[in-house]
Amino acid sequence: MTIKSTHGVLHMLQALLLVGVLPGGLNMAHAQPSAAPAEGAPLRVYAAGSLREALTEAARAYEARTGVKTQLTFGASGLLRERIEKGEPAQVFASADTQHPQRLHAMAASAWAQPTLFVRNQLCALAVPQLNADPAKLLGLMLDPAVKLGTSTPKADPSGDYAWEVFRKAEALKSGAYAALDAKALKLTGSPEAAQPPTGRGAYEWLITEGRADLFLTYCTNAVAVRKEVPRMSVVQMPPALQVSAAYGLTARSGDGAAAQFSAYLLTPEAQDVFRRFGFGAP
């Protein structure tokens, strides 16, 4: 598997400049799309649900600079990738991992560009206040039979895959931890069968408030966003031995100038500043 690093990102931007996708360098104020969608047909962007707030703001800024409208579709990355494979007309795919965009590229290299790493995230724990959770107590709480441990669904949603990576790290700290966590984890989000919150309610806040989970492993950006809405919730950083980094991959339809330009914009300082304000790390 090959995902472009920051070094590779520079090469991609240089290549786009050479073919005229980014006229005038990285100054998007004067950029014009080389293959803009027809009038009334916005650029179709499929993206991980954890990117919803940040990518929406970045897309709004992009539209203000270029006049190109975007149609953003959010969901679990694995499910979005399956929809694309079945023929849905996505032009840009921003995943919460690198494997799903790499799979699109590997299955149809002529149709999808080599993926690029564009932001990073980490896994945190969202906890009810009664647990008095902190990093030192986190593994014990995760293993406690009385604590309902919520996760997303592996394979369908990278957040679930990252949770199971935490479980594997836990095994190195305590023999039998992986089996115990694998057996007790409640896959509450990320699958087509997952219960949906009422309109206007966030999934994590709703699941915890309803008592379906006491402790939820999710992206730190998600956890911080929930805590802004529900201050009583605790956001717990993973202790060093359990920390997991989430690398987000980005790919665009090959030969689609509008998709390539939008993808390149997400790597510019302006867009990266938006992601940083929402808690994402640089590639």
pLDDT digits (tens, 9 = 90+) for 216-249: 999 999 998 888 888 889 999 999 999 999 999 9
CA distances from 245 to 24, 119, 147, 205, 283 (A): 35, 11, 25, 23, 11
User: Of 83, 82, 78, which is closest to residue 96 (Cα–Cα)?
Assistant: 78
pTM of the full predicted structure?
0.84
Mean pLDDT across 175-183: 98
3-state secondary structure of 47: strand
Distance CA 269, CA 178 (A): 40
pLDDT digits (tens, 9 = 90+) for 55-79: 999 999 999 999 999 999 999 999 9
Share of the chain above pLDDT 70, in %: 86
Q: How confident is the model at residue 108 (pLDDT cuts 50, 70, 90)?
A: confident
Joined together, the tokens standing for residue 122 give 């980490």
pLDDT of residue 192 exceeding 80: yes
pLDDT of residue 137 exceeding 90: yes
Dihedral sign computed on CA atoms, order 1, 280, 158, 256: negative
pLDDT of residue 16 exceeding 50: no
For residue 15, the model assigns a pLDDT of 39
Dihedral through CA 261, CA 266, CA 267, CA 268, nearest 10? 90
pLDDT of residue 181 exceeding 80: yes
Q: Say how far residue 282 (Cα) sits from the centre of its chain.
A: 13
Share of the chain above pLDDT 90, in %: 76
* 42 Cβ contact list (under 8 Å, min separation 6): 68, 69, 70, 71
- Answer for the pair 104, 251: CB distance below 8 angstroms, yes or no: yes
pLDDT digits (tens, 9 = 90+) for 265-282: 999 999 999 999 999 999
Mean pLDDT across 34-48: 74
Strand (E) or helix (H) holding 23: none
Joined together, the tokens standing for residue 31 give 């950029």
Pick the range with the lowest mean pLDDT from 20-29, 42-51, 248-257: 20-29
For residue 107, the model assigns a pLDDT of 87
